[in-house]
Structure 1
Amino acid sequence: MDIDSQLDAVDRGLTTGTRDGADTFVQTLAQTYPAPIDDVWDALTSAERIPRWFLPVSGDLRLGGRYQLEGNAGGTVESCDAPNSYGVTWEYGGGVTWVTVRLTEVQPGRTRVELQHVAPSADLGAEMWEQFGPSATGIGWDQTLLGLAQHLTTGEVRPDNAQEWLVSDEGIGFMRGSADRWSAAHVAFGAEPEVARTAADTTFAAYTGAAPASMD
């Protein structure tokens, strides 16, 4: 696996916004895949295909339905415009954020997927944001796009030992590269380089067990 090529294939961005009158952080990732839009939509929304590249999912995957990812987030499907976009609440650890996925056919057989994650600024807290920065969620989303890329380009199914890969040299290298790229996005967002670097290093250490930092 060329982990640098995969990491470099993703565009990352940070902005601020508002939702329901509250200030938010908006994290965006986008990647173009060599697959037609209908196939990408099916991979992203089919209960049968999602576990092949992400996690087992249960629930009612339609507008207004509830879903639950095994060992991860659950929520409600708030919008659905097949095969162009869908939006869900992302409920995890007692908090509620929002994820919107948009698909664009950039040319026949090539589809750009944009994932937007919106979180209330007040829920994150200034201290937590400064300590961990965007890598806290960004590393996980980079892993998600990696799984989708492998599935759409090779047809491979997510292996049962995926968690073992994360603690391999290659997996750790992937997380290091992801943290570094989110550090750069953090700087582009307006953070001081040293603050962004320290936050990325703290998050990388938390993901890899190199430091007793809390991700709660």
Structure 2
Amino acid sequence: MNEIASQDTSLTAVKRAMGNREIAEGPARTAVLERRYEAPIKDVWDAITTPDRVNRFFLPVSGDLRAGGSYAFEGQASGKILVCDPPHLLRLEWTPPGDRGYSDQVEVRLTPDGPDATWLVLEHASVADVFRNDPDTGCYGVGTGWEGPLHYLGEYLRGVLPDRPSTEWYTFDEAEELRLANHRGREWAKIEAQHAGGADNG
């Protein structure tokens, strides 16, 4: 257990779904990702809420990190922390850089699976069309975008990532990321078609 696993190992580990729910901006669509991690719920919660640990598998984060406070992921998104209920629920406004005039909402829910494993559900809700996946045109939605961070969270929890910020060890490989995006995008396109056809209206 001393090497970072290829992201291909996570392609079948993610359960994908789409749904609908109401957020502050109005009726929203959602992309839902579910994964099981071999780690206690308190460890998973600590990993996704402690800045020095988040920085190991995702991005640098700063702010007043408490319910009612605000956060900012470097170069990615910022917003208010709407709910922080350890170790089960974290809900955030999610506003990418630039003035779009609206915010998405990201919610992470944790459920223990015995003493040493945890189910994580990440739900990204938006009133905007940020879910479309079309590998033919290189268009990928938010569901596709979340799969990489959830993979690296798993590798971090396994203890195989370098003990330093991800900006120091992660190397962007455009061809490899495009290959992964194409695969993930095709899976999400199937989910989107099912949802549009009424197969998933949860």
Return the TM-score normalized by structure 1: 0.77
Which whole-Å CA distance do the structure 2 matches of 1:110 and 1:56 have between them? 26
Instruction: Using the TM superposition, give the Cα deviation of residue 4 of structure 1 relative to its aligned residue in structure 2, in angstroms.
Output: 3.2
Segments of structure 2 that go 5 or more residues without pairing to the other structure are 198-202
Q: Which of 54, 57, 62 pairs up with 1:53? A: 57
Aligned length: 185
Q: Percent identity?
A: 30
2:125 maps to what in 1? 118
- Match of 1:71, SS state, is coil
Q: Does 1:15 align with 2:15?
A: no
Q: Whose helix fraction is larger, Structure 1's or Structure 2's?
A: 1
Which whole-Å CA distance do the structure 1 matches of 2:113 and 2:138 have between them? 31
Q: Provide closer, same or farther for how the CA distance between residues 85 and 27 of structure 1 changes in structure 2, counting only shifts above 3 A.
A: same
Q: Which of 156, 160, 185 pairs up with 2:161? A: 156
The residue identity in structure 2 corresponding to 1:139 is T
2:113 maps to what in 1? 106
Which whole-Å CA distance do the structure 2 matches of 1:129 and 1:111 have between them? 29
Q: Does 1:173 align with 2:179?
A: yes
Q: CA RMSD in A?
A: 2.4
Moved >6 Å (runs of 4+)? 130-134
The residue identity in structure 2 corresponding to 1:59 is G
Q: Provide closer, same or farther for how the CA distance between residues 142 and 56 of structure 1 changes in structure 2, counting only shifts above 3 A.
A: same
Return the TM-score normalized by structure 2: 0.82
Which whole-Å CA distance do the structure 2 matches of 1:25 and 1:84 have between them? 22
1:206 maps to what in 2? none
Q: Deviations over 1:7-37 (max 9, x none)?
A: 1100111112223482211111010000011
Kept after mapping to 2: 8 A contact 1:134/1:186: no
The residue identity in structure 2 corresponding to 1:146 is H
Q: Provide closer, same or farther for how the CA distance between residues 20 and 67 of structure 1 changes in structure 2, counting only shifts above 3 A.
A: closer
2:144 maps to what in 1? 139
Instruction: Using the TM superposition, give the Cα deviation of residue 168 of structure 1 relative to its aligned residue in structure 2, in angstroms.
Output: 4.3
Kept after mapping to 2: 8 A contact 1:135/1:183: no
Segments of structure 1 that go 5 or more residues without pairing to the other structure are 192-216
Q: Does 1:34 align with 2:41?
A: no
The residue identity in structure 2 corresponding to 1:70 is E
